[in-house]
Amino acid sequence: MTTSLTGRSFNSVLDFSSEEIMTVLKTAMALRKGDAPFGAAPLANKTLAMIFQKPSLRTRVSFETGMTKLGGHAIYLAPTDISIGKRETTEDIALVLSRYVDVIMARVFGHDIVEDLATHATVPVINGLSDFEHPCQILADLQTVLERKGHLDGINACYIGDGNNVAHSLMFGAARMGMNMTIICPKGFEPKAEVTKQAAAIGAETGAKITITPELSATEGADMLYADVWASMGQESEAAERRKVFEPYRIDAETMKRADDDAVILHCLPAHYGDEIDYDTSRLPNAAIFDQAENRMHAQSALILHLLQ
């Protein structure tokens, strides 16, 4: 079956089927190898508008560089350029940008913003991050595991930390692709109940087991270990208190003793070494953190290629 993603938006991992996700991942891996599956300069005369409410290193550079490498152009719109919902309505911003550009990416706080953009825009909208999901990150994560392990189905993955937007998208992505995902977090910091319920239901169809537990022993035999910061952007005032609660929830030498010998170590960055992961562990041969960061560019470029083909 030919998969067509042309003209669609990507605001949640669940917007794509497992087959469609795999289509994007295969293109991303080809791009990383230096192949040109869509020919030379496939995004010539194409423009990406990048709306930012939050600062970024990887999101801005990966999207902008990816567009440039494929012959396109990206425009950075800072929080001072577009005050969403204040200076102009989200609807008007979406309608205006649709007259200028071919695709819109938004890195925002409220998930409702990317949903509103997608509702009103006449071009594809990509969720570059919201407080509810981080779907582009998970495309890069899946690509990295696929490159390291050769498959996704049946992988036993563990995420250690806060049940945040990354955890939500990881659960959805794992469920779609038949990966077993265990979210290990302190009580009171679990992912949203509706996410757990939805991911578990999808997993029941694909063979993926979705588990939520406070027990660190759940890393026993894990094929993948994933860490994220204990306090996300916008939670800085909670950082000191969260550090007390999350102190045991880290990837370190003890964690690695329980996991499989060649367990892939991932972190979506930025990392706070000594908190959720220690520096030495992050530099082990099976740590793929910087492959993962590079794959943001390849996965997002592949995504845009399919949305605009």
Structure tokens at 43: 């995004």
Q: What distance in Å separates the CA atoms of residue 166 and residue 91, rounded to the nearest whole number? A: 27
Are residues 256 and 162 part of one domain? yes
10, 301, 299, 270: which is closest to 139 by C-alpha?
A: 299
| pTM, 2 dp | 0.96
Are residues 282 and 304 part of one domain? no
| 4 in any annotated domain | no
Task: Give the chain's domain count.
Answer: 2
Given this model, what pLDDT does residue 235 score? 66
2 has pLDDT over 60: no
As annotated, the active-site residues are 107, 134, 137, 228, 268, 296
Are residues 104 and 25 part of one domain? yes
- Dihedral (CA of 266, 267, 271, 277) sign: negative
Are residues 99 and 80 part of one domain? yes
Are residues 114 and 170 part of one domain? no
Give the phi and the psi of residue 78 in degrees, each rounded to 5.
-75, 165
Are residues 168 and 130 part of one domain? no
Which residue blocks in the chain are alpha helix, DSSP H? 18-32, 58-69, 90-100, 111-120, 135-149, 165-177, 193-206, 239-246, 253-258, 279-282, 289-308
Given this model, what pLDDT does residue 254 score? 96
| 41 in any annotated domain | yes
| 1 in any annotated domain | no
Are residues 111 and 238 part of one domain? no
Query: Is residue 159 helix, strand or coil?
Result: strand
Are residues 111 and 24 part of one domain? yes
pLDDT tens for residues 235-261? 677 778 889 999 999 999 999 999 999
Are residues 183 and 252 part of one domain? yes
Given this model, what pLDDT does residue 113 score? 96
- For position 271, which CATH number holds? 3.40.50.1370
| 224 in any annotated domain | yes
1 has pLDDT over 50: no
276 has pLDDT over 70: yes
Mean per-residue pLDDT for 206-210?
98
| 6 in any annotated domain | no
Are residues 170 and 56 part of one domain? no
pLDDT tens for residues 105-163? 999 999 999 999 999 999 999 999 999 999 999 999 999 999 999 999 999 999 999 99
Are residues 285 and 141 part of one domain? yes
Helix and strand totals (H; E) in the chain: 11, 9
| 201 in any annotated domain | yes
**Domain extent at residue 271:** 137-292
Please say whether the beta carbons of 174 and 223 come within 8 A: no
| 7 in any annotated domain | no
Query: Is residue 147 helix, strand or coil?
Result: helix
Q: How confident is the model at residue 233 (pLDDT cuts 50, 70, 90)?
A: low
Percent of the chain with pLDDT over 70: 98
Are residues 123 and 209 part of one domain? no
